Structure 1
Amino acid sequence: MKTKYIDLIEQTYDFPQEEFQLEDNKLQFHGIDLYGLAQKYGTPLKFTYLPKISDNIQRAKGWFNSAIKKHKYAGKYHYCYCTKSSHFEHVLNEALKNDIHIETSSAFDINIVEHLKKTGKITKDNYVICNGFKRDQYIQNIARLINNGHKKCIPIIDNYEEINLLSEEIDGKFQIGVRIASEEEPKFEFYTSRLGIGYKNIVPFFNQSIKPNEQVELKMLHFFINTGIRDTAYYWNELMKCLKVYISLKKVCPTLDSLNIGGGFPIKNSLAFEYDYEYMVDEIIHQIGQACDEAEVEVPNIFTEFGSFTVGESGGNIYEVLYQKQQNDREKWNMINSSFITTMPDSWAISKRFIMLSINRWNDEYERILLGGLTCDSDDYYNSEQHMNAIYLPKYRKDKPLYIGFFNTGAYQETIGGFGGLQHCLIPHPKHILINRDEDGNITTSVFAKQQTAGEFLSILGYESKKDSDVLVAVENLQEPSKN
């Protein structure tokens, strides 16, 4: 009878996989010894495997360029990274190695752009697509960027007032885009996105407000689907509606030459994950080309804004199981040495699924369990609702430490969780490790951020922090990570 954890994984999934292999009874991620990483740095920890960012960018660019060549599509393709997925410098530095452009969401994004320009990571040839609802500071920052010569900064108009606000601040002519307020998926709580301008109102808006304004040139139509790019009747129907708007707008606006199909690709959330990226790209290019040919208008240049797809699969979390609680005849709770609410907020806020695997003890027998975090909040858990299936792990043993990994957690979790700030129940944010490869392909690691201390929490909260005080030292010792 097959009762080992490795037997369970191999009979349930196609394993090993491209990024996951097993070596000496321990899990490897892109050739990284995760058990060794946990032993070296202690747990809990987060890590970012930087080469995966470039890998995903190059994959997407390859799919689009192949489809453009196959269909003899006359437009060009531009890959944008939407910074809200992860604003960290190490992420932007890695992404910008790949000849891409970026999409911003708020005022401080522009400050990041200006810093990247000073350091030579961004030049005047990089598009900066400015999304989001814009008010004073964001408007002023966009204007400053354009007035300082960055002509490829394109604010995307989200409401009727923004053109006038921008025109007052920007010197001379500038280009804009207009965002379509797409219809939401039928099961959504509301019918139309709060962002953008309705389908039926865009052409009248152009005629009334954009065309008479000699300072403004409309370059881009922006189309965003909240559910992302998926092979569903809903997505294709919304894309066709968008193309009808583009065609109608193109006939009265010759300067319009770009279509931004915002809304990202899904990322892997299970070992059973299947998604035909190449087919989706091919079909998108085909549908756009066919619609424009039939309407006898020029095809647009294509922009995409991939955030989670760019950075999500580069991230991972490692925890240690501290203790097992048998709460009744059926439920065993494995308690981790951190909190799901603070380190993976999407897992409890929107029941987002992540890949979860044991790091070690693959040849041990397995058992069905629930995973619990350290906070006193009843929602601090991870179970089958988030994980697609029941959770099985090697049997808990006090004398044999068990490490578990959550993978593809690189998008949004730090910013939503409040990186470096207050955490629920004052559970400290774990240390963050950057993983890279040198020119010879050897793995290198470095500490990006240490685990939060009691002193940092007390400082944020306004208490007088004396690191040599007995109370503070006791608290900090209490929060020391396990290094078993």
Structure 2
Amino acid sequence: MNTKYIDLINQTFDFPQEEFKVNKGQLHFHGIDLMQLTQQYGAPLKFTYLPQISNNINRAKQWFADAIEKHNYKGSYNYCYCTKSSHFKHVLDEALKNDIHIETSSAFDIDIIENLKAEGKITNNTYVICNGFKRVQYVTNIARLINNGHKNAIPIIDNYEEIDLLSQEIKGKFNVGIRIASEEEPKFEFYTSRLGIGYKNIVPFYKNQIADNEKVELKMLHFFINTGIRDNAYYWNELLKCLKVYTSLKKICPSLDSLNIGGGFPIKNSLGFEFDYEYMIDEIINQIKLTCEEEEVEVPNIFTEFGSFTVGESGGAIYEVLYQKQQNDREKWNMINSSFITTLPDTWAINKRFILLAVNRWQDSYERILLGGLTCDSDDYYNSEQHMNAIYLPKYNKDKPLYIGFFNTGAYQETIGGFGGLQHCLIPSPKHILIDRDADGNITTRLFSEQQKSEDLLKILGYEKQSEPVTSEGLEVAKVYN
């Protein structure tokens, strides 16, 4: 009988796969022996496999190049990385090796851009697409970037006040884009995105605030779908509505030459994941070209903003199963040595699915289980609701430690989880490992951050010994010397 865990995976999925293979009962990820990694650094741990960032960027760039050549498309393609998916320097450093551009969403993003410029990782030729609702600090930082010579910084107008706010601080002429407030899927609780300007209002907005404004030039129309690029009626309908706005604007605004089809690609969330990226890109290029030909306008340069697609598949997390609790005649709870709420918050917040596989003991028999985290919160679990199927893992054996891995976790989890800060029930953030390859293709690893210690959390909470309070007299003395 085929009762081993490896038999279950082989019978259920097309396995092994490009990034996953099993050797001597242990899982390898992109050629990395995960048990060896775990033995070296311990668990729980998180890791980032940096080469996968470049791999995905170059896959997308090649798909667009192929579609542009096939359709004899006259516009250019520009790959942007949206930093909100992961702001870490090691992520930006890897991504920027591949001749890409950047999308920002808040004021402090601009400080990161300036830091990367100082290091030579970004030049004035790099497009910086500034999205988001802009208030004082964000406007000030964008203006500083443009005033210092970064003319390829393009603020995307999100509301009717932003042009005036930017004009007050930017010296000389500057380029802008306009974000379309797309209509949301029918299942949403609201009809229209809170971000951007409505379809029907964009042409009047251009006429009223930009057409006769000698300081501002419209270069880009920004189209963003919250659910991402998917092959369904909703996406294609919204794209065609966007293209109608683009062609109407282009006829009265010669400077408009770019279309940003924001909204990312899905990433692999199970071993059974299927998505035809090449078909989607080919059809998007085709639809844009056909619409522009029908309306007799030039095709736009294409910009995309891929965040999760860029960094998501580079990340993973490894936990140890500490104990098994038999709560009734059917439910077995495998308790991990960390928390889902704190380390993979999307599993808790939006029931997001990640690939889950045993790291070791693939030759052992398996059982159906539930996974529980260490916090005292009843929602700290991972089960079939998130996982797409019932969860099966090698049978618990207190004498044979079991390690499990979650994969493609590289986008959003650290920032949503509050990396370096307080965690629910004071569960410490696990250590984080960076994995790379040297010039000869050999795997290299380095520790990016240690697991949080109690003193780290106590300091945030104010339990560290405080300095003596300053008296009013002391404040007066300080004023004199300052």
Q: TM-score, normalised by structure 1?
A: 0.96
- Supply the distance in 2 between the matched residues of 1:377 and 1:151 (Cα, whole angstroms): 49
- Cα deviation code 1:239-263 (max 9, x no counterpart): 0000000000000000000000000
- SS of corresponding position for 2:171: coil
- SS of corresponding position for 2:266: coil
**Partner amino acid for 1:90?**
H
- Cα deviation code 1:140-166 (max 9, x no counterpart): 000000000000000000000000000
Show the counterpart of 2:142: 142
- SS of corresponding position for 1:218: strand
Give 1:252-291 correspondences, 5 Å limit: 252-291=252-291
- Supply the distance in 2 between the matched residues of 1:302 and 1:212 (Cα, whole angstroms): 26
- SS of corresponding position for 1:132: coil
**Partner amino acid for 1:281?**
I
- Supply the distance in 2 between the matched residues of 1:325 and 1:307 (Cα, whole angstroms): 38
- Cα deviation code 1:397-424 (max 9, x no counterpart): 0000000000000000000000000000
Show the counterpart of 1:124: 124
Show the counterpart of 1:300: 300
- Supply the distance in 1 between the matched residues of 2:244 and 2:465 (Cα, whole angstroms): 62
Show the counterpart of 2:48: 48
- Cα deviation code 1:308-342 (max 9, x no counterpart): 00000000000000000000000000000000000
Show the counterpart of 2:469: none
- Cα deviation code 1:22-45 (max 9, x no counterpart): 111100000000000010000000
**Partner amino acid for 1:27?**
L
Give 1:22-421 correspondences, 5 Å limit: 22-421=22-421
**Partner amino acid for 1:371?**
L
Task: State the identity %.
Answer: 80
- SS of corresponding position for 1:111: helix
- Supply the distance in 2 between the matched residues of 1:174 and 1:405 (Cα, whole angstroms): 48
**Partner amino acid for 1:337?**
N
Following superposition, the deviation at residue 2 of structure 1 comes to 1.3
Q: Does structure 2 conserve the Cα–Cα contact (< 8 Å) formed by 1:3 and 1:366? A: yes
Give the paired residue count. 466
Q: Point out where structure 1 has 5 or more consecutive residues left out of the alignment.
A: 467-484
- SS of corresponding position for 2:256: coil
- Supply the distance in 2 between the matched residues of 1:184 and 1:117 (Cα, whole angstroms): 36
- Supply the distance in 2 between the matched residues of 1:212 and 1:76 (Cα, whole angstroms): 28
- Cα deviation code 1:249-306 (max 9, x no counterpart): 0000000000000000000000000000000000000000000001100000000000
Following superposition, the deviation at residue 465 of structure 1 comes to 5.7
Q: Does structure 2 conserve the Cα–Cα contact (< 8 Å) formed by 1:80 and 1:303? A: yes
**Partner amino acid for 2:157?**
I
- Cα deviation code 1:424-475 (max 9, x no counterpart): 0000000000000000000000000000000000000000269xxxxxxxxx
Runs of 4+ in 1 over 6 A off after TM superposition: none
**Partner amino acid for 2:319?**
Y
Q: Does structure 2 conserve the Cα–Cα contact (< 8 Å) formed by 1:458 and 1:465? A: no
